[in-house]
Structure 1
Amino acid sequence: MINIQEIDKLTEQFYKGISFSQEHYPQFDQLGELFFGAGKLIDNNYDKPIDFTLQSYIQAVMRQIEDGNASFYSQQEISDTTEVFGNTAQRISVYEYSFTAETQQPWKKGVNYIQFIFTEGKWQIVSMVWTDETEEFSIPETYLI
Protein backbone atom coordinates (compact mmCIF):
# COMPACT_ATOMS: atom_id res chain seq x y z
CA MET A 1 0.00 0.00 0.00
CA ILE A 2 1.26 3.48 -0.92
CA ASN A 3 1.92 5.75 2.04
CA ILE A 4 1.35 9.39 1.06
CA GLN A 5 2.69 10.41 4.48
CA GLU A 6 6.18 9.39 3.32
CA ILE A 7 5.90 11.86 0.43
CA ASP A 8 4.57 14.49 2.86
CA LYS A 9 7.62 13.98 5.09
CA LEU A 10 10.04 14.04 2.15
CA THR A 11 8.56 17.33 0.91
CA GLU A 12 8.73 18.84 4.40
CA GLN A 13 12.38 17.76 4.73
CA PHE A 14 13.19 19.44 1.41
CA TYR A 15 11.65 22.77 2.41
CA LYS A 16 13.31 22.60 5.83
CA GLY A 17 16.65 21.74 4.22
CA ILE A 18 16.72 24.82 1.98
CA SER A 19 15.61 27.25 4.70
CA PHE A 20 18.27 29.11 6.69
CA SER A 21 19.08 32.08 8.89
CA GLN A 22 22.26 33.82 10.00
CA GLU A 23 22.45 31.40 12.91
CA HIS A 24 21.74 28.23 10.92
CA TYR A 25 23.08 27.36 7.46
CA PRO A 26 20.84 25.37 5.12
CA GLN A 27 20.85 21.63 5.80
CA PHE A 28 22.21 20.84 2.36
CA ASP A 29 24.06 17.73 3.50
CA GLN A 30 20.70 16.07 4.15
CA LEU A 31 19.22 16.99 0.76
CA GLY A 32 21.29 14.43 -1.13
CA GLU A 33 19.39 11.63 0.59
CA LEU A 34 16.08 13.04 -0.66
CA PHE A 35 16.96 12.99 -4.36
CA PHE A 36 17.32 10.24 -6.92
CA GLY A 37 20.54 10.64 -8.89
CA ALA A 38 21.70 14.17 -9.58
CA GLY A 39 18.20 15.63 -9.22
CA LYS A 40 16.71 18.27 -11.49
CA LEU A 41 15.55 21.66 -10.21
CA ILE A 42 14.17 24.31 -12.55
CA ASP A 43 13.40 27.88 -11.53
CA ASN A 44 10.89 29.04 -14.13
CA ASN A 45 10.45 32.61 -12.86
CA TYR A 46 12.39 34.28 -15.66
CA ASP A 47 12.24 34.59 -19.43
CA LYS A 48 14.69 31.71 -19.64
CA PRO A 49 14.39 28.90 -17.04
CA ILE A 50 17.33 28.37 -14.70
CA ASP A 51 18.27 24.69 -14.75
CA PHE A 52 20.05 23.15 -11.76
CA THR A 53 21.19 19.78 -10.54
CA LEU A 54 20.93 19.45 -6.79
CA GLN A 55 24.66 20.12 -6.50
CA SER A 56 24.61 23.24 -8.70
CA TYR A 57 21.58 24.56 -6.77
CA ILE A 58 23.44 24.12 -3.48
CA GLN A 59 26.52 25.86 -4.92
CA ALA A 60 24.42 28.80 -6.17
CA VAL A 61 22.75 29.32 -2.79
CA MET A 62 26.01 28.96 -0.86
CA ARG A 63 27.64 31.54 -3.15
CA GLN A 64 24.83 34.00 -2.30
CA ILE A 65 25.30 33.35 1.43
CA GLU A 66 29.09 33.62 1.31
CA ASP A 67 28.96 36.81 -0.78
CA GLY A 68 26.66 38.38 1.83
CA ASN A 69 23.69 38.58 -0.54
CA ALA A 70 21.49 36.23 1.51
CA SER A 71 21.23 35.84 5.27
CA PHE A 72 17.71 34.46 5.67
CA TYR A 73 15.36 32.31 3.65
CA SER A 74 12.35 30.34 4.76
CA GLN A 75 10.03 28.30 2.59
CA GLN A 76 7.15 26.09 3.66
CA GLU A 77 4.33 24.22 2.05
CA ILE A 78 0.85 25.61 2.67
CA SER A 79 -1.24 23.34 0.44
CA ASP A 80 -0.68 20.23 -1.62
CA THR A 81 -2.21 17.67 -3.93
CA THR A 82 -0.38 14.41 -4.50
CA GLU A 83 -1.20 11.84 -7.15
CA VAL A 84 0.38 8.38 -7.13
CA PHE A 85 0.39 5.75 -9.84
CA GLY A 86 2.44 2.65 -9.19
CA ASN A 87 5.97 3.67 -8.25
CA THR A 88 5.65 7.27 -9.46
CA ALA A 89 4.05 10.33 -7.90
CA GLN A 90 3.55 14.00 -8.64
CA ARG A 91 2.84 16.69 -6.09
CA ILE A 92 1.47 20.16 -6.63
CA SER A 93 3.04 21.95 -3.69
CA VAL A 94 1.89 25.49 -2.96
CA TYR A 95 4.52 27.22 -0.87
CA GLU A 96 5.10 30.52 0.84
CA TYR A 97 8.51 32.05 1.32
CA SER A 98 10.37 35.01 2.71
CA PHE A 99 13.86 36.47 2.47
CA THR A 100 13.41 38.26 5.79
CA ALA A 101 12.57 37.11 9.31
CA GLU A 102 10.02 39.91 9.56
CA THR A 103 6.73 38.15 10.24
CA GLN A 104 4.52 41.19 9.74
CA GLN A 105 4.83 41.43 5.97
CA PRO A 106 2.87 38.92 3.91
CA TRP A 107 5.01 36.11 2.56
CA LYS A 108 5.17 35.55 -1.18
CA LYS A 109 3.70 32.38 -2.66
CA GLY A 110 4.40 30.03 -5.53
CA VAL A 111 3.78 26.58 -6.94
CA ASN A 112 6.28 23.76 -7.09
CA TYR A 113 5.58 20.67 -9.21
CA ILE A 114 7.57 17.81 -7.68
CA GLN A 115 8.03 14.37 -9.23
CA PHE A 116 8.92 11.32 -7.13
CA ILE A 117 9.78 7.68 -7.68
CA PHE A 118 9.60 4.77 -5.28
CA THR A 119 12.81 2.78 -5.49
CA GLU A 120 14.78 0.56 -3.14
CA GLY A 121 12.02 0.76 -0.54
CA LYS A 122 11.71 4.54 -0.34
CA TRP A 123 10.38 7.60 -2.13
CA GLN A 124 12.88 10.02 -3.67
CA ILE A 125 12.57 13.31 -5.53
CA VAL A 126 13.45 13.07 -9.21
CA SER A 127 12.72 16.63 -10.29
CA MET A 128 10.93 19.84 -9.49
CA VAL A 129 9.98 23.00 -11.32
CA TRP A 130 8.59 26.12 -9.70
CA THR A 131 7.11 29.51 -10.45
CA ASP A 132 6.27 32.25 -7.98
CA GLU A 133 2.90 33.94 -7.95
CA THR A 134 2.81 37.30 -9.75
CA GLU A 135 0.15 39.76 -10.87
CA GLU A 136 0.14 37.88 -14.17
CA PHE A 137 0.01 34.39 -12.62
CA SER A 138 -2.31 33.81 -9.65
CA ILE A 139 -2.35 30.50 -7.86
CA PRO A 140 -5.58 28.66 -8.81
CA GLU A 141 -8.10 28.41 -5.98
CA THR A 142 -8.25 24.63 -6.52
CA TYR A 143 -4.60 24.43 -5.46
CA LEU A 144 -5.33 26.13 -2.15
CA ILE A 145 -7.86 23.66 -0.73
Structure 2
Amino acid sequence: MKEEYLKKVQSVDDLITSFYACLGGEPGEPRDWEFFRFLFHPQANKIGYEKDINGNLRPQFMSPNDYVERIGYWFDNTRKTAFYEREIGRVVETYGNMGHAFSHCEAFHSKEDMVNNKPYKQDIKSIQLAYYQGRWCIINMFWHGVSPEFPVPDRYKKFQQFP
Protein backbone atom coordinates (compact mmCIF):
# COMPACT_ATOMS: atom_id res chain seq x y z
CA MET A 1 0.00 0.00 0.00
CA LYS A 2 2.81 2.45 0.82
CA GLU A 3 4.18 2.21 -2.73
CA GLU A 4 0.75 3.23 -4.07
CA TYR A 5 0.77 6.16 -1.64
CA LEU A 6 4.32 7.23 -2.63
CA LYS A 7 3.22 7.77 -6.22
CA LYS A 8 0.74 10.40 -5.01
CA VAL A 9 3.25 12.56 -3.13
CA GLN A 10 6.16 13.00 -5.53
CA SER A 11 5.31 16.61 -6.31
CA VAL A 12 3.71 19.46 -4.38
CA ASP A 13 0.83 19.45 -6.84
CA ASP A 14 0.24 15.70 -6.41
CA LEU A 15 0.32 16.01 -2.62
CA ILE A 16 -2.18 18.87 -2.42
CA THR A 17 -4.46 17.31 -5.04
CA SER A 18 -4.38 14.03 -3.10
CA PHE A 19 -5.22 15.82 0.14
CA TYR A 20 -8.40 17.33 -1.28
CA ALA A 21 -9.42 14.10 -3.00
CA CYS A 22 -9.07 11.86 0.06
CA LEU A 23 -11.57 13.80 2.20
CA GLY A 24 -14.45 13.83 -0.28
CA GLY A 25 -17.31 11.39 -0.20
CA GLU A 26 -20.94 10.59 0.35
CA PRO A 27 -22.58 10.31 3.78
CA GLY A 28 -21.18 7.32 5.65
CA GLU A 29 -18.70 6.53 2.86
CA PRO A 30 -15.43 5.44 4.51
CA ARG A 31 -12.40 7.61 3.81
CA ASP A 32 -8.87 6.24 3.47
CA TRP A 33 -7.63 7.54 6.81
CA GLU A 34 -4.36 5.61 6.52
CA PHE A 35 -3.58 7.55 3.35
CA PHE A 36 -4.73 10.80 4.98
CA ARG A 37 -2.23 10.26 7.81
CA PHE A 38 0.47 9.37 5.27
CA LEU A 39 0.13 12.82 3.65
CA PHE A 40 1.37 14.46 6.87
CA HIS A 41 4.70 14.40 8.68
CA PRO A 42 4.30 12.46 11.97
CA GLN A 43 4.68 15.70 13.98
CA ALA A 44 2.40 17.80 11.77
CA ASN A 45 -0.44 19.99 12.95
CA LYS A 46 -3.77 20.95 11.41
CA ILE A 47 -4.69 24.37 12.71
CA GLY A 48 -8.08 25.89 12.09
CA TYR A 49 -9.24 29.35 13.02
CA GLU A 50 -12.54 29.09 14.91
CA LYS A 51 -14.57 31.38 17.13
CA ASP A 52 -14.37 30.82 20.87
CA ILE A 53 -17.34 31.17 23.23
CA ASN A 54 -16.85 34.95 23.23
CA GLY A 55 -16.90 35.14 19.44
CA ASN A 56 -13.16 35.81 19.16
CA LEU A 57 -11.18 34.05 16.44
CA ARG A 58 -8.53 31.69 17.81
CA PRO A 59 -6.35 28.95 16.35
CA GLN A 60 -7.30 25.39 17.29
CA PHE A 61 -4.49 22.83 17.01
CA MET A 62 -4.89 19.14 16.30
CA SER A 63 -2.68 16.42 14.92
CA PRO A 64 -3.77 14.46 11.86
CA ASN A 65 -4.58 11.58 14.25
CA ASP A 66 -6.77 13.90 16.36
CA TYR A 67 -8.51 15.00 13.17
CA VAL A 68 -9.24 11.40 12.17
CA GLU A 69 -10.57 10.60 15.67
CA ARG A 70 -12.76 13.73 15.90
CA ILE A 71 -13.80 14.46 12.34
CA GLY A 72 -13.29 11.02 10.80
CA TYR A 73 -15.90 9.42 13.00
CA TRP A 74 -18.33 12.17 12.04
CA PHE A 75 -17.62 11.68 8.30
CA ASP A 76 -17.82 7.90 8.45
CA ASN A 77 -20.78 7.44 10.80
CA THR A 78 -22.92 10.46 11.57
CA ARG A 79 -22.75 12.94 8.72
CA LYS A 80 -26.09 13.12 6.90
CA THR A 81 -24.75 15.04 3.91
CA ALA A 82 -21.86 14.49 1.57
CA PHE A 83 -18.64 16.49 1.89
CA TYR A 84 -16.45 17.56 -1.00
CA GLU A 85 -13.73 20.18 -1.24
CA ARG A 86 -12.40 21.66 -4.44
CA GLU A 87 -9.30 23.79 -4.80
CA ILE A 88 -9.87 26.84 -7.00
CA GLY A 89 -6.57 28.67 -6.68
CA ARG A 90 -3.08 28.19 -5.30
CA VAL A 91 0.17 30.08 -4.92
CA VAL A 92 3.20 27.83 -4.31
CA GLU A 93 6.77 28.78 -3.47
CA THR A 94 9.60 26.31 -2.99
CA TYR A 95 13.18 26.58 -1.85
CA GLY A 96 15.37 23.50 -1.54
CA ASN A 97 13.36 20.90 0.36
CA MET A 98 10.80 23.40 1.69
CA GLY A 99 7.57 24.51 0.17
CA HIS A 100 4.62 26.67 1.04
CA ALA A 101 1.21 26.92 -0.58
CA PHE A 102 -1.68 29.28 -0.06
CA SER A 103 -4.62 27.22 -1.30
CA HIS A 104 -8.07 28.72 -1.94
CA CYS A 105 -10.78 26.06 -1.69
CA GLU A 106 -14.51 25.69 -1.42
CA ALA A 107 -16.65 23.02 0.26
CA PHE A 108 -19.89 21.41 -0.87
CA HIS A 109 -22.66 19.33 0.69
CA SER A 110 -23.18 17.24 -2.48
CA LYS A 111 -21.76 16.42 -5.90
CA GLU A 112 -24.74 18.27 -7.38
CA ASP A 113 -23.81 21.42 -5.46
CA MET A 114 -20.27 21.07 -6.80
CA VAL A 115 -21.50 20.71 -10.39
CA ASN A 116 -23.82 23.71 -9.92
CA ASN A 117 -21.03 25.71 -8.22
CA LYS A 118 -22.93 26.22 -4.94
CA PRO A 119 -20.33 26.01 -2.15
CA TYR A 120 -21.44 26.42 1.45
CA LYS A 121 -18.07 27.85 2.49
CA GLN A 122 -14.62 28.87 1.26
CA ASP A 123 -11.29 28.71 3.06
CA ILE A 124 -7.72 29.78 2.53
CA LYS A 125 -5.26 27.11 3.63
CA SER A 126 -1.63 27.88 4.43
CA ILE A 127 0.21 24.60 3.82
CA GLN A 128 3.83 24.14 4.89
CA LEU A 129 5.55 21.33 3.03
CA ALA A 130 8.78 19.37 3.26
CA TYR A 131 10.55 17.02 0.89
CA TYR A 132 11.54 14.32 3.34
CA GLN A 133 12.57 10.67 2.89
CA GLY A 134 11.98 10.71 -0.86
CA ARG A 135 8.57 12.40 -0.89
CA TRP A 136 6.64 15.57 -0.16
CA CYS A 137 4.65 15.73 3.08
CA ILE A 138 2.58 18.32 4.91
CA ILE A 139 4.37 19.76 7.94
CA ASN A 140 1.51 22.04 9.01
CA MET A 141 -1.82 23.08 7.56
CA PHE A 142 -3.40 26.29 8.83
CA TRP A 143 -6.76 27.48 7.51
CA HIS A 144 -9.05 30.45 7.84
CA GLY A 145 -12.58 30.89 6.54
CA VAL A 146 -13.32 33.42 3.84
CA SER A 147 -15.77 36.12 4.92
CA PRO A 148 -16.67 39.72 4.10
CA GLU A 149 -14.18 40.71 6.79
CA PHE A 150 -11.50 38.45 5.24
CA PRO A 151 -12.07 38.35 1.45
CA VAL A 152 -9.92 36.28 -0.92
CA PRO A 153 -6.92 38.22 -2.26
CA ASP A 154 -6.85 38.22 -6.07
CA ARG A 155 -3.47 36.44 -6.13
CA TYR A 156 -5.06 33.33 -4.49
CA LYS A 157 -7.82 33.08 -7.10
CA LYS A 158 -5.57 31.43 -9.67
CA PHE A 159 -2.86 28.78 -9.78
CA GLN A 160 0.72 30.08 -9.60
CA GLN A 161 4.01 28.35 -8.91
CA PHE A 162 7.35 29.92 -8.11
CA PRO A 163 10.62 28.01 -7.82
Q: 2:62 aligns with which of 52, 66, 81?
A: 52
Which of 14, 25, 33 matches 1:9?
Answer: 14
Q: 1:100 matched to which residue of 2?
A: 110
**How has the CA–CA distance of structure 1 residues 66 and 119 changed in structure 2, closer, same or farther, with 3 Å as cutoff?**
closer
Q: 1:81 aligns with which of 91, 105, 115?
A: 91
Q: How many residues align?
A: 141
Match of 1:40 in 2: 45
CA contact (8 A) 1:91 1:113 kept: yes
For 1:57 and 1:70, the matched residues in 2 are separated by 19
Higher mean C-alpha deviation, range 31-40 or range 122-131? 31-40
CA 35–66 in structure 1, closer or farther in 2 if over 3 Å, else same: closer
Task: Confirm whether residue 72 of structure 1 aligns to residue 82 of structure 2.
Answer: yes
Shift of 1:96: 1.1
**Percent of residue pairs bearing the same amino acid type:** 21
Distance 1:139 1:40, change over 3 A: same
Q: 1:30 to 1:66 in 2, by over 3 A?
A: closer
**CA 1:66/1:32 → structure 2, altered by over 3 Å: closer, same or farther?**
closer
Q: What 5-or-longer segments of structure 2 have no aligned partner?
A: 1-9, 52-56, 159-163
Please give the TM-score of this superposition, normalised by the length of structure 2: 0.78
Give TM-score scaled by structure 1 length. Answer: 0.86
Runs of 4+ in structure 1 off by over 3 angstroms are none
Residues 121-136 of structure 1: pairs in structure 2 closer than 5 A: 121-136=134-149
Contact 2:92 2:99 in 1 (8 A): yes
Shift of 1:66: 5.6
